[in-house]
Amino acid sequence: MKPIQLLRARRRSGRWHWTDIAAYAYLGLGVVLMFGPVVWLVLSSFKTQASLLEFPPSLLPLSQQEVRVQGFPQPLPLFAATLDNGERRELAQVRRIGLIAQMIDPADPKQQYRVPTAKLAPVRHLSFVTANYTEPLQKFAFTRYLWNSVFVTTIATLITLLINSMAAYALSIYEFRGKTVAMLMVIGTLMIPITIILVPVYLVVTKLGLVNSLWAVILPGAATPTGVFLLRQYMLTLPRDLIEAARMDKASEWQIYWRIVMPLAAPALAVLAIFSIMWRWNEFLWPLAVLTKSESFTLQIGLNAFQGELQTQWNYLLAMTVVSLIPVALVFVFLQRFIATGIANTGMK
């Protein structure tokens, strides 16, 4: 919407109160503060290593223009030079000797100039360096990390959906002895975050022989109390007659679960799937503790290891960070509404 329209629309509906102006100012500032950093990250990820080290940084990814001149095998950098007579021309630099640069005119290679470097300004143009994205694919184990993250996220989400929905089905459809105990167990796990059982879970995983395997990341978080609650609340609303009718028709309990309850619970399953994907893709502390070999690193651990290296190659790091953002961006664009209602309803994330 254009600002003008916005102003007019507001005027028609009533007078401006100072709080309205303050509100829009606050929201405008919010847009800059919330979006700004990510936009800056994406812009920076397309810069060359050299222009990343520049201070003050340029807003857009610029790189120096180069020209091919006859008689020179390498392309030469182009500068805007101010000549002795005050004339400004675009010249290519052949070599630099101390504070004097030897320049030639690309249009007329025979013409040579000697210009003090202080009188040179690089000719730059907008250019997006995609090498930041393509090179890590070959140079580092980046594809490995990416694949590990995709694998963990997919498999873990499938397991979570399966076992959480089974538990939710049991807790919503049946009356049985020990139901309260089971519910208490689920609530209990809510109170025990991984931060306080880090060491013993590591022991369990070691006993199972899973250290440095991706299953060590997948399994411990597969059963989630949030998921059981979310699905149970939803399944409680399903009509009981349907299940009774299926029992009359000699459907087995497993068939009722798989054929009737699961399809009906699809909206809740979708919400849990989104949550699980976000949890797994972003998980940090536990993988950090349990994965020590770089071939089993997930993307988040890989990024962290990479930024901790002595000479951080920011151009690659920024590009890889942007790649790790892509699934999140997709979820955000398409499914933001689901998550928002999910949080508003459960107070969990």
HSE-up of 332 (CA within 13 Å, CB side)?
Answer: 5
Residue 192 sits in the site that holds other proteins (CB under 8 A): yes
Is 151 a residue that touches other proteins (CB under 8 A)?
no
164 is a contact residue toward other proteins (CB under 8 A): yes
Told to check if 185 binds other proteins by CB under 8 A, we report: yes
Q: Which of residues 224-243 bind other proteins (CB under 8 A)?
A: 228
282 near other proteins (CB under 8 A): yes
DSSP string, 103-142: EEETTEEEEEEEEEGGGEEE-EEE---THHHHHHHHHSTH
Nearer to other proteins, 104 or 265 (CB): 265
Residue from 15, 55, 70, 248 binding other proteins (CB under 8 A): 55
Phi, psi of 191 (to 5 degrees): -85, -5
Q: Does 154 bind other proteins (CB under 8 A)?
A: no
CA distance linking residue 51 with residue 57, whole number of Å: 7
Smallest distance, Å, CB 107 to other proteins? 36
CB distance 133 to 143 below 8 Å:
no
Which of 4, 15, 56, 87 is in the footprint of other proteins by CB under 8 A? 56
- Binding other proteins (rule: CB under 8 A), the pick from 169, 234, 297, 316 is 169
Q: Please, which of residues 87-146 interact with other proteins by CB under 8 A? A: none
Minimum CB distance to other proteins smaller for 93 or for 160: 160
**Tell me, what DSSP letter sits at residue 99?**
T
**Are 298 and 145 a contacting pair, CB within 8 Å?**
yes
In the numeric block, the tokens 């980046």 are attached to 142
Cβ proximity of 274 and 187 under 8 Å: no
Torsion of CA 7, 10, 15, 20, to 10 degrees: -80
Q: Which residues of 64-76 are buried (b: 16+ CB within 10 A; e: fewer)?
A: bbebebeeeeeeb
CB atoms closer than 10 angstroms to residue 272: 26
Amino acid at 307: Q
CB closer to other proteins, 67 vs 201: 201
Residue 174 binding other proteins, by CB under 8 A: yes
Tell me the window of 38-46, 65-73, 89-97, 137-145 that interacts with other proteins (CB under 8 A): 38-46
Site for other proteins in 200-219 (CB under 8 A): 200-204, 206, 219
Q: Is 65 in the site for other proteins (CB under 8 A)?
A: no
- Span interacting with other proteins, options 112-120, 135-143, 150-158, 185-193, rule CB under 8 A: 185-193
Polymer length of the chain: 349
Q: Beta strand pairing status for 76-82 and 88-97?
A: antiparallel
| 3-state DSSP assignment of residue 88 | strand
Query: Which CB, 24 or 140, lies closer to other proteins?
Result: 24
Nearer to other proteins among residue 10 and residue 96 (C-beta): 10
Compute the distance between CA of residue 235 and CA of residue 239 in angstroms, rounded to an integer: 9
Minimum distance from residue 258 beta carbon to other proteins (Å): 5
Choices 29-37, 75-83, 107-115, 131-139 (CB under 8 A): range interacting with other proteins: 29-37
Answer for which of 253, 260, 270, 338 binds other proteins (CB under 8 A) is 253
The stretch among 86-94, 117-125, 126-134, 340-348 that binds other proteins (CB under 8 A) is: 340-348
Using CB atoms within 10 A of its CB, is residue 333 exposed (0-12), middle (13-18) or buried (19+)? exposed
Residue count, binding to other proteins (CB under 8 A):
102
Least CB distance to other proteins at residue 33 (A): 7
